[in-house]
């Protein structure tokens, strides 16, 4: 079995498991970028999503100025292709991360690249909450914070789990393009050490690992969505 693997995947073996270009490093880099970008981008997405729902015309706190401002920010960032965003915000990345290359630098464009997509998903999820429950909470004297946490986020938690899963899967794809600024990761391994060097076995294994990672995220996300949905009943 070992000799067969060495024969079919010689370049995969040559990359090794450890080292800067090893498979362990590539997997770690992908997980690192995905996790922290999901945290930072997720926080931004939830904040903007909540503001958009609260300040819309028939929202709990209607405010045309804040709604239009947040709506335009989300729309503008969502319209910029990620590979262009990498270059466009390079000065901002330098200020925040102290460098424009590497994993830490990639967190800035990844977070800003994923947050508008997630903000729209959060907006849709929160708007699906039964308006009657919101009105009932208001009639009982609930504050805006009570409505946000106890009604909106609580009632929509199953749907939020679903859209979070979709967002994280999309984010994993963005980490591949982040290789353009030397962030590493499985996507960078597939392109730099596989495709560009005609090492098809490296490309295949890197792609397979990305698919496995996406399947794991999907399975966990589906489980959480179903579990939280049952709690709502």
Task: State the CATH number of the domain containing residue 175.
Answer: 1.10.3720.10
CB-based contact 45:119 (threshold 8 Å): yes
Does residue 12 sit within a domain? no
In a domain, 93, yes or no: yes
What is the rounded average pLDDT for all residues in the chain? 87
Confidence of residue 189 (pLDDT cuts 50, 70, 90): confident
Mean local confidence (pLDDT), 154-160: 91
When divided into structural domains, the chain yields a total of 1
Q: How far apart are the first and last CA of the chain?
A: 51
pLDDT at position 232, please? 57
Please check the confidence at residue 115 and state whether its pLDDT lies above 90. yes
Residue 78 counted as domain residue: yes
Residues spanned by the domain of 122:
20-232
**pTM to 2 decimals?**
0.88
- Per the CB < 8 A criterion, the answer to whether 177 and 83 are in contact is yes
Is residue 9 included in any domain, yes or no? no
Structural domain includes residue 15 = no
Q: Is residue 14 part of a domain?
A: no
Two structure tokens written together for 38:
């999901």
pLDDT at 59 over 90: no
DSSP string, 196-228: TTT-HHHHHHHHHHHHHHHHHHHHHHHHHHHHH
Task: Give the span between the Cα atoms of 78 and 64, in whole angstroms.
Answer: 21
Q: Is 111 exposed, middle or buried (0-12, 13-18, 19+ CB in 10 A)?
A: buried
* Residue 212 belongs to a domain: yes
Identify whether 117 is part of a domain. yes
């Amino acid at each position: 079995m070992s000799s067969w693997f060495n024969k079919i995947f010689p370049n995969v073996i040559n990359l090794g498991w450890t080292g800067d270009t090893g498979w362990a490093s590539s997997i770690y880099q992908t997980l690192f970028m995905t996790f922290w970008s999901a945290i930072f981008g997720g926080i931004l997405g939830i904040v903007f999503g909540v503001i958009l729902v609260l300040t819309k015309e028939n929202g709990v706190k209607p405010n045309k100025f804040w709604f239009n401002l947040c709506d335009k920010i989300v729309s503008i960032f969502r319209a910029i292709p990620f590979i262009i965003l990498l270059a466009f915000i390079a000065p901002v990345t330098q200020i925040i991360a102290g460098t424009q290359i590497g994993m830490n630098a990639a967190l800035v464009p990844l977070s800003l690249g994923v947050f508008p997509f997630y903000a729209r998903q959060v907006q849709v999820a929160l708007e699906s909450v039964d308006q009657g429950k919101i009105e009932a909470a208001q009639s009982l004297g609930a504050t805006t914070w009570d409505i946000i946490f106890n009604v909106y986020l609580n009632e929509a938690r199953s749907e939020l789990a679903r859209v979070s899963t979709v967002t994280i899967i999309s984010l994993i794809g963005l980490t591949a393009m982040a290789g353009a600024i030397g962030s590493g990761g499985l996507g960078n391994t597939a392109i730099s050490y596989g495709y560009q060097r005609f090492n098809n076995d490296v490309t295949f294994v890197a792609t397979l690992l990305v698919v496995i990672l996406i399947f794991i995220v999907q399975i966990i996300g589906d489980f959480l969505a179903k579990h939280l949905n049952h709690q709502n009943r």
